[in-house]
Amino acid sequence: MNIDQEVCQLAKVPMFSKLETSKLRLIAFTSEALCYHAGEILFNKGEPADSAYVVMSGEVEVLAETSGGDVVSAVRGENALIGEMAVITKENRSATLRARTEVEVLRISEEVFIRLLTENPEVALDVMRQLSRKLAESQTAYEYLQEQLRTH
Q: Has residue 96 been placed in a domain?
A: yes
Q: In terms of Cα–Cα distance, which of 69, 71, 46, 53 is closest to 61?
A: 71
CATH (domain of 107)? 2.60.120.10
Q: How far is 24 from 70, CA to CA, in rounded Å?
A: 36
Tell me the per-residue pLDDT of 76-110, one tens digit each, with 9 for 90 and over.
999 888 898 889 989 999 899 999 999 999 999 99
* Domain extent for 73: 31-151
Give the list of residues 6+ apart from residue 30 with CB closer than 8 angstroms, or none: 108, 109, 112
What's the total number of domains in the chain?
Answer: 1
Q: Has residue 141 been placed in a domain?
A: yes
Tell me the per-residue pLDDT of 26-84, one tens digit each, with 9 for 90 and over.
888 899 999 999 999 999 999 999 999 999 999 999 998 878 888 888 899 998 888 98
> Following CA atoms 74, 75, 77, 82 in sequence, which dihedral angle do they give, to the nearest 10 degrees?
40
Q: Is the pTM of this model over 0.85?
A: no
Q: Has residue 105 been placed in a domain?
A: yes
Asked whether the beta carbons of 79 and 55 are under 8 A apart, the reply is: yes
